[in-house]
Amino acid sequence: MPLFAIPFPAVDPVLFAVGPFAVRWYALAYIAGLLLGWLYARALVRRPALWGGRPIPTETDLDDMLVYCALGVILGGRLFYVLFYNLDFFLANPAEIPAIWRGGMSFHGGLVGCATALIVLAKKKNLPILSFADLASAVVPLGLFFGRIANFINGELWGRVTDVWWAMVFPHAGPFPRHPSQLYEAVLEGLAILIILGIVIARGGLKKPGYVSGLFGVLYALGRIASEFFREPDPQLGFLFGGATMGMLLSLPLLAAGLYLMARARRS
């Protein structure tokens, strides 16, 4: 163990409260991600030259996309968490399934839910699904970045015990210093992907249907797998086999789908 560790910044998860009503940093982080993502998406659809003549959603369509994706993320994220992360508990306590305010969401499930919602929306708007998918993939890293920062402020989803000098002792994780893996994920899954996709889009990436979506899938899967080497596994699951975690396994289909979409986009 290190001789010292960086003190955990004890930020109150509640920004302010008025009676029983509390405004939490966690909620503000997600609101910031949604709002900035919506503004970024509007900026992208206002530049048809980036799309090379592809059918693209209108600014009005973006309002519907925000609602559809939010519902898809909530339903899909919760369903995957129930099925893949804590099934025994929820089978014994089915009334707890809708209690999402107590925590328990899966990003991979949220992604599947969002993709399903976009398919429904694309059919309703009579637009290609990949137009919505590429647009959503470009802005999702913003939400991921703010979401992981919120995890850090809450002192949850901490990393494994380590002796690196930047280790932290998290309030609810015992006395040992740990990797601040939430910050690793904020950079790898959020900031880095946002920058890379932005460069690809500026160089014509949106002109190839499915390329931005596929690249997002590949980058997220690789970033998540790398992060899992530093993140403490969920206590009810632990390591599955050979040091693998559920987060790693769920990233493999996403990696395969991303590679397929990129290859398909290049061929077309």
Measured in degrees and rounded to the nearest 5, phi and psi for residue 16 equal: -160, 160
Residue 67, pLDDT above cutoff 80: yes
Q: Which helix (H) or strand (E) holds 64?
A: helix 59-80
The H-or-E segment that residue 21 falls in is strand 21-24
Question: Based on the number of CB atoms within 10 Å of its own CB, is 57 exposed (0-12), middle (13-18) or buried (19 or more)?
Answer: buried
- Does 50 score more than 80 pLDDT? yes
91 vs 6: CA distance, rounded Å: 40
Is 96 or 125 the better-scoring residue by pLDDT?
125
pLDDT in tens, 149-190: 888 888 888 999 999 989 999 988 888 999 999 999 999 999
Rounded distance between C-alpha atoms, residue 111 and residue 113, angstroms? 5
Residue 68's Cβ-side half-sphere holds a number of Cα atoms within 13 Å equal to 21
Q: Round to whole Å and give the CA distance between 57 and 67.
A: 14
Domain ranges of the chain: 32-267
Question: What's the CA gap between 195 and 216, in Å, rounded?
Answer: 11
pLDDT at 73: 85
DSSP 8-class letter at 162: -
3-state SS assignment for residue 22:
strand
Return the bridge partners of 16, or none.
Answer: 23
Quickly state the pLDDT bin for 103 (edges 50, 70, 90): low
- Report the chain's mean pLDDT, rounded to a whole number: 88
**Choice between 84 and 213, residue whose per-residue pLDDT is larger:** 213
* pLDDT band, residue 1 (cuts 50/70/90): very low
| Eight-state DSSP code of residue 173 | S
Q: How many CA atoms lie within 13 A of 139 on its CB side?
A: 24
Q: What is the pTM for the complete model shown?
A: 0.87
Taking residues 40-50, report their average pLDDT. 95
Three-point CA angle 191, 113, 197, nearest 5°: 25
In the three-class reduction of DSSP (H, G, I as helix; E, B as strand; rest coil), residue 258 is classed as: helix
